[in-house]
Amino acid sequence: MTSQTIPTGEFISFNERETFELGSRIGEGLSGGEILLLNGPLGAGKTVLVKGIAHSLGLDEEDVTSPSFTLVNPHQGRLLLYHIDLYRLDEGATAAHAVDWMRSSATKMRW
């Protein structure tokens, strides 16, 4: 059995397809318990990246939408994926509390 690794570092994508494919590669390496923090301006492609992650977890990427107004969108696939938007919440304490209830899921937070 081969162990998957999650790509790390700084990546530049030139279109949505490349962003989606990076997300898919990240998702393939998830085993549960990971917390992925994304930071970028509106329209940077954060949700497209999460759609790629969701696809690799066996989810329909069309079901993945930005959680800007709901704050948390849970998606059940190979792993439970929480798509969380912390942009409008107080930093620090909110993120720390959110971590406690996500230990067995793949979690993506954005702010």
Phi, psi of 24 (to 5 degrees): -65, -40
Give the residue from 58, 53, 65, 109 showing the smallest Cα distance to 85: 109
Give first-to-last CA distance, the chain, whole Å. Answer: 36
**Backbone dihedral region for residue 15 (phi beyond 0: left; psi -120 to 50: alpha; all else: beta):** beta
Q: How much of the chain exceeds pLDDT 90, in percent?
A: 25
Which token pair is 89? 């919440």
pLDDT at 20 over 80: yes
Tell me the pLDDT tens digit for each residue of 37-83. Answer: 888 888 889 889 999 999 999 998 888 887 766 677 777 888 888 77
Average pLDDT over residues 73-97: 70
